[in-house]
Amino acid sequence: MHMTESPRPSGAYTTDQDPTPYPYPYDTAYSTAYDGAAGGYPPPPPYAPDPSSYASEPPAPGHRDRRAKRPVALLAAVALAAAVIGGGTATLVGQLSDGGASATGSTGTVQGTTVSQSSKGTVSGVAEAVSPAIVEIGAASSAGKSTGSGVVITEDGEIVTNNHVISGAQQIEVTLSTGKTYTADVVGTDPDKDLALIKLRGASGLKTAALGDSSQVKVGDQVVAIGSPEGLTGTVTSGIISALDRDVTVAKDDSGSSGENQGGGGQQWPFEFGGQQFNGDTGEKTTTYKALQTDASLNPGNSGGALINMDGEIIGINSAMYAPSSSAAGSGSTAGSVGLGFAIPVNTLKADLDTLRAGDGS
């Protein structure tokens, strides 16, 4: 061992042969156990003091080394750091959980924002979450202009609506909930199911709707309908599911009279139910599908819009509604909803998406 010359006189430091207890502070329990032992030696300290830490002299007897408190301070610092990191981890997990709602699903649709936990089960919560994904569709044809609604299902502008809303259209204009407008092209149609898929030109980063599971819907479930009745974009109504599997018959594809509010005449899309015709003649080309029945108020322009459960998931595409004739209503205009509305189950849409995207149903 390398030794340095000490300026202090001999005997100023204790030696290994000195039976006097070492003055370095140690635990009282160890002191009691070893002070009476032969030679009076205490156990070696957990680490030796660093002589360089003292300016000129070693600590005086009874003086507690300030460095001995560092492990406690270190533990406190580690605990504090762990708490901070733990909080950051919780925040990150929350962000990932919220962001998971926007992940692209296996079907290619983007799962939209669902109702926040604090607003779950409320109409206002559903409206706030889903309204940005519901659009107004204006379809112009040689017979006039029809107005309907649609549901955004991808961030780049794929929109689902009813076939009868855009059938025969020569130009399609879509208005978002923000008021921004786009021109749209027809991707594919399926007249047998009264479904159509259109795509906005140059759109990106759009709010999208989450598609639910209509097989889980029960009579009495609360629902919310969002659409553009009479051109009133973003109108919200609510009600319940009144019945399941209603056989509803609509006109299949008649470009001469299709659409809603065509030419400003307030005409509604006609349909058949129970062997009777409502809202006009459906014509010769018809198709029948199983529909969800709801008492949520639907009016001309709601077709193609969303029927939504209280978790903010789309469970149906609104497609038909009953209104009494103008003569029965006693006025010169078509009466509004009387609580008989029908929607195409969302599972029918999900099963048809690949066909619509391929344009095979056109």
Residue 98 is among the residues annotated as catalytic for this protein: no
Give the helix/strand (H/E) hosting 95: helix 70-99
Give me the catalytic one of 149, 167, 190, 194: 194
Instruction: Give the residue from 221, 220, 202, 342 showing the smallest Cα distance to 279.
Output: 342
Least confident of 159-168, 170-179, 260-269: 260-269
- Summarize the confidence of residues 295-314 as an average pLDDT: 94
Residues in Cβ contact with 358 at an 8 Å cutoff, skipping those fewer than 6 apart: 188
Q: According to the model, what pLDDT value does residue 332 have?
A: 44
pLDDT tens by residue, 76-111: 444 444 444 344 433 333 333 344 343 444 444 445
Tell me how far apart the 2 most distant CA atoms of the chain are, in Å: 125
Q: According to the model, what pLDDT value does residue 124 have?
A: 95
Q: Is the pLDDT of residue 300 over 50?
A: yes
Answer yes or no: are the C-beta atoms of 294 and 307 closer than 8 Å: yes
pLDDT tens by residue, 234-252: 899 999 999 999 999 888 7
Residues of the chain with pLDDT > 90, as a percent, come to 43
44 pLDDT band, cuts 50/70/90, is low
Give me the catalytic one of 177, 242, 303, 337: 303
Q: Is the pLDDT of residue 69 over 60?
A: no
Residue 221 is among the residues annotated as catalytic for this protein: no
Q: Which residue has the higher pLDDT, 298 or 23?
A: 298
Residue 242 is among the residues annotated as catalytic for this protein: no
Q: Is the pLDDT of residue 337 over 60?
A: yes
- Summarize the confidence of residues 42-52 as an average pLDDT: 57
325 pLDDT band, cuts 50/70/90, is low
Q: Which residues pair with 148 in a beta bridge?
A: 137
Instruction: Give the residue from 141, 142, 144, 133 showing the smallest Cα distance to 102.
Output: 133
Give me the catalytic one of 141, 149, 164, 238: 164
Q: Is the pTM of this model over 0.85?
A: no
Instruction: Give the residue from 221, 208, 278, 215 showing the smallest Cα distance to 249.
Output: 278
- Summarize the confidence of residues 294-299 as an average pLDDT: 93
pLDDT tens by residue, 176-201: 999 999 999 999 999 999 999 999 99
Q: According to the model, what pLDDT value does residue 326 have?
A: 47
